[in-house]
Structure 1
Amino acid sequence: MFHFDIYNSNNVTLSHVHIIAPSDSPNTDGIHISLSSNIRVFDSNIGTGDDCISIFAGSQNVNISRVTCGPGHGISIGSLGNKPNEVVKDVHVKNCTLIATQNGMRIKTWASSNVGAATNIYFEDILMDKVDNPIIIDQYYCPSHTCNIKKSLVQIKGVTFNNIRGTSSSLVAVNFNCSSSLSCQKINLNDIDLINYNTKPTIASCANAIGHATGIELPPSCLKSVLES
C-alpha cells in the first residue's frame, strides 16, 4: 500500500525522499495526502506501480517541487466524489520531471460521484519524457470498468497548466474529459509544447472544458471559451 500516508496533518515537509516499488505493483502510491494542509514535498525521486503522489479529499495548500516521478501513474489529484463534499484546493506542482509514467498531471473524479470540488490548481514548469497521458482531467474514472456510469458532480475550476513540455507516448497529449453536468471551468493553458516521441503531431481532446490558451499550443487547444459555451 502507500509508502507515506499523510493523514489529518498540518505543516508537514518531506524532502530528499527516495521511494521505489515494481512498476506492476498495485496501490503502491509513493506519497498519499488526505485531510491535510500546508504540506510540502520537494527534492525527491519516486518510482512505483501507482501514483507517485496522490492528493486526496480534504487537502489544501499543497506544494510539490523538484520531484522526479517514474515509473508510476504520475502526480494525481483524486479520485474525488466517492463520498459527499470531497474537496481539494490550493495545490501547486512545479519543476517536476515525469519519465515513462502512465499519466503526467492528472485530476480524476469517479464516474458516478457525489458533490465535491477541485479548485485553484497550478501545474507549471513540468518536463514529460514518454508519458502516456501528459495532461489529463478524467471525470469518468472507473478503474474496475464495472461502474454505473453517471455524471460527475465534482466541480473542477481554476486549473492552470503553464510551461508543460516534452514527449508523449500517445497521440492525445492533452485530454479533458469533463462532466456533462458540471463542465470544467477556468482551465488555463500557457506554453504547452508536447510532441509525440515518434515525432508525430499530438492532438488535444476536450469534452465540456471551458477556458483559454496562450503562448505555444502544441497540440492546438480544444478548449471552449466562455462565449462559445
Structure 2
Amino acid sequence: MAEPLLEMRGIVKRFGRVEALRGVDFHVGRAEVVGLVGDNGAGKSTLVKIIAGVYQPDAGQMFFEGQPVVFRHPSEARARGIEIVYQHLALIDLLSIDRNIFLGREPTKRIGPIAILDKARMEREAWSILQDIGLRRIRSPSERVAKLSGGERQSVAIGRAMHFKAKLLILDEPTAALSVRETRRVLDHVLEVKKQGVSVIIISHNIYHVYEVSDRIVALDHGRKILDVPREKVTPEEVIDVIRTGAPATPQPEENQRV
C-alpha cells in the first residue's frame, strides 16, 4: 500500500469536559478524494481544523508526506501545501477578487529600497485563474467579491488554492445553499483538482454530493469513526443509515461485497 499523503493516528481533542475526538484514525491518499460526513457535533470540523493548524490535538500523531508534524498555526499547514476553504469565510466581500486571491501572500516589487504591492502581477495572475476555473462572465479581477454568487465564490477559493500549489484541499460544506448549476460546477472542480494530483477532503451534509465525487467515505459520530469504506462498497442510503443509527458499520464478507 502506498504511503498516504496525510495520516492521523489516535487523535484526541478535548474542549473542557467535552471530548470532541476520541482516538480517531484518519488518512488521505495521494490524489484521493475523501468524503467526511456525519451529523452536527460529530467532530468533522474539529478534525479538519487540526489538519489545518487551527487546533492542536491533545493526544495522537499526525504525519504529512511521511513526516511527523504538529501545526501550531494555519500558516504552518499552508506552507506545507494544505489549504482549507470554509463555507462562509472563503472570501472577503469588500475586497476585489485579485486582492482576495493574494490575501496574506501579496506579491511585491522593488523601487529602489522600497517594496510596493505589485498590482499589475496580481491582476494578471488573477485573470488567468478566473479563466482556468471557467469564470468567464467576470469582466475584471478588480470586481468586488460582493458581486459574486455563492458558487462563483467557491470557485475562486478553489482556484486560489490551486494557484498556490495545494497538495491537500479541504472543502467545508462547499455546496451549501448553492443552486443546482453552481453545485455541479463546484463538484466538477473537485474532480478536476484530483486529476491534477491534488488530494481533497470534502465535508458535506448532502451525502449524495459527497458520494458523487469521493473515492472513499469516512463517517464520524460523537468523535468516533464509525465508517471508513471505499465508495463502491457502500450505497448513499447505507451511509445515511450508518449516520442515523450512529452504529459502526460491520464489514461484509468478501463474497457479499459490491464490486
TM beyond 0.5: no
What is the TM-score with the length of structure 2 in the denominator? 0.26
Query: Which structure would you say has the larger RCO, counting Cα contacts within 8 Å and 6 or more residues apart?
Result: 2
Larger Rg computed on CA atoms? 2
What is the TM-score with the length of structure 1 in the denominator? 0.29
Q: Higher helix share goes to which structure?
A: 2
